[in-house]
Amino acid sequence: MNIKQAKNVYFLGIGGIGVSALARMLSSLGKKVWGSDNKQSQITNRLISDGIKVIIGHSLDNLEPKPDLVIYSEDVTRDSPGFVELARLDQLGITKLTQAEAVGQLMDDKFGIGVTGTNGKSTTTAMLGLILEAAGTDPSVLVGSLLSAKNESEKFKANARLGTGQFFVAESDEYARKMLKNHPKMIVVTNIAEDHLDYYKDLNDIKEAFRQYIHSLPKDGILIYNADDHNTIEVCRNASCHKFTFGIHHYADLQAINVELREGGQRFDLHLNNVMIGEIELCIPGVFNVANALGAILSSIKLGIKLDVIQRTLAAYAAIWRRFEQVGKLAGKVIISDYAHHPAAITATIEAAKQFYPQKKILVVFQPHHHNRTKALFGEFVESLLSAPDELIIPEIFDVIGREHGEQISSQQLVEELNKKGERAIYASDLDQCGQFIHDKISKYDVVLLMGAGDIDTLARNL
């Protein structure tokens, strides 16, 4: 039983961003789709509003009526609540696929485009998908985030689009080598950094995984990569397919020149092979978003998309869910939620906030995600958080079910180290206390920037 043959498909861990995108896509294909997750969330609420049945809690009763196929999140491990269901599938004679395997099956009959990298892949995937849609290619797209309502269309909603055209764009996650389960004809690499050290041994192990993915491209495949990132260059330079580079600070096939901040965004001159071909305007901040846009632009050019379509689409592009997303105001002060949870992303996001809100007082809140990551990259987290311009609140580490191994680390240690180095950092034992601190301090600030991959986003939206 494969994904195309299955008529009744059950999703285990349907609240995960990647699994939810697949559920939405298969529902659009006319399949009966339902699933379970261990908690309610913005993602599960959106699925329900889109007509997809979601069960909160895990039980064998969820597998009635018996599905033809179960697609499950790779995050479901022996320590996860959902394992009670996963463990019985073989005994019940139900075919199962991981989320990555399912994406691979859907991509096989298309011109697959995998967007991968440590940071920036969701934004780049969304940009590329929207450009291909605007060009009339009717692509299929899977994004690891949620589109802004401003950019949604009748066919491209939330994090998935089902099309009849030849292009299939999918965000390819490097965790647990998931990206090796799909075989695209084009790969876009945003950057490569040390992360997911609960799975990978070290940076060399991470590079080897990316190298395997890149070398899976056919000889006539296309590799698009970031010339400003030394790890990416090291991994990509010996690939035997067609290779093209993008960059800002170093020479590349496609370059952003004269990057300028403007009210409400930024702009830059676009140079292809040392020749200026046009100007790009973005209404989102951050040099990292210029790089993300370059990856999407170069991919689009190589796929034959006209520059005017690219320009119009990017000028209208709004931040996706939890990517420098303004989620509201508290006492008239701007509240921004961002997914940044890796040191490099934290530094880039804080710098973007300082550039976007010059002369403004910014309160930074960071919730560390995953005890293993916090311990393994402790020094890098300290250095990145030292860039906070004013005060800093750090709530306790978000515990990732099934991926913790008893590491002895606390946010309090981060706070102590930061204070030793002169940063004004405050420890919050939980999100309730964190929220109270924000309310107490809001009168002194113009902007509150909340970062992290855990439930800090819920706090941001409820302030």
Q: Are residues 250 and 125 in the same domain?
A: yes
Residues of each annotated binding site: 117-123
Interhelix angle 287-302/343-356, nearest 10 degrees: 100
CATH classification at residue 61: 3.40.50.720
Asked, for residue 294, whether it belongs to a domain, the answer is yes
Asked, for residue 407, whether it belongs to a domain, the answer is yes
- pLDDT by residue for the chain (463 residues), tens only, comes to 899 999 999 999 999 999 999 999 999 999 999 999 999 999 999 999 999 999 999 999 999 999 999 999 988 888 888 999 999 999 999 999 999 999 999 999 999 999 999 999 999 999 999 999 999 999 999 999 999 999 999 999 999 999 999 999 999 999 999 999 999 999 999 999 999 988 899 999 999 999 999 999 999 999 999 999 999 999 999 999 999 999 999 999 999 999 998 877 899 999 999 999 999 999 999 999 999 999 999 999 999 999 999 999 999 999 999 999 999 999 999 999 999 999 999 999 999 999 889 889 999 999 999 998 999 999 999 999 999 999 999 999 998 766 656 678 999 999 999 999 999 999 999 999 999 999 999 999 999 999 999 999 999 999 9
Which residue carries 């250095």 as its tokens? 383
Q: Are residues 14 and 128 in the same domain?
A: no
Q: Are residues 271 and 247 in the same domain?
A: yes
Q: How far apart are CA 49 and CA 40, in angstroms?
A: 13
Q: Are residues 278 and 136 in the same domain?
A: yes
Residue (of 265, 270, 22, 243) closest to 143 by Cα position: 22
Give the rounded distance of the alpha carbon of 141 from its chain centre: 14
Q: How far apart are CA 259 and CA 78, in angstroms?
A: 48
Q: Are residues 306 and 335 in the same domain?
A: no
Cis peptide bond prior to 218, omega within 30° of 0: no
Domain range for 398 is 325-462
Asked, for residue 344, whether it belongs to a domain, the answer is yes
Q: Which amino acid is at 307?
A: L
Distances (CA, A) of 84 to 36, 98, 162, 200, 401: 12, 16, 32, 26, 14
Query: Which of these three, 65, 98, 131, is where a domain ends?
Result: 98
Asked, for residue 105, whether it belongs to a domain, the answer is no
Asked, for residue 145, whether it belongs to a domain, the answer is yes
Q: Are residues 141 and 176 in the same domain?
A: yes
Residues of each annotated binding site for ATP: 117-123
Asked, for residue 3, whether it belongs to a domain, the answer is no
Which residue carries 């508290």 as its tokens? 330
Asked, for residue 427, whether it belongs to a domain, the answer is yes
66's tokens:
């018996």
Q: Are residues 455 and 376 in the same domain?
A: yes
Count the neighbouring beta carbons within 10 Å of the beta carbon of residue 224: 30
Asked, for residue 396, whether it belongs to a domain, the answer is yes
Query: Which of these three, 34, 66, 98, is where a domain ends?
Result: 98
CATH classification at residue 262: 3.40.1190.10
Q: Which amino acid is at 319?
A: A
- Domains identified in the chain, total number: 3
Q: Are residues 308 and 432 in the same domain?
A: no
Count the neighbouring beta carbons within 10 Å of the beta carbon of residue 165: 15
Q: Are residues 402 and 455 in the same domain?
A: yes
Query: Which of these three, 315, 345, 377, is where a domain ends?
Result: 315
pTM for this entry: 0.91
Q: Are residues 115 and 79 in the same domain?
A: no
CATH classification at residue 398: 3.90.190.20
Q: Are residues 262 and 138 in the same domain?
A: yes
Q: Are residues 153 and 238 in the same domain?
A: yes
Backbone phi, psi, residue 246, to 5°: -130, 155
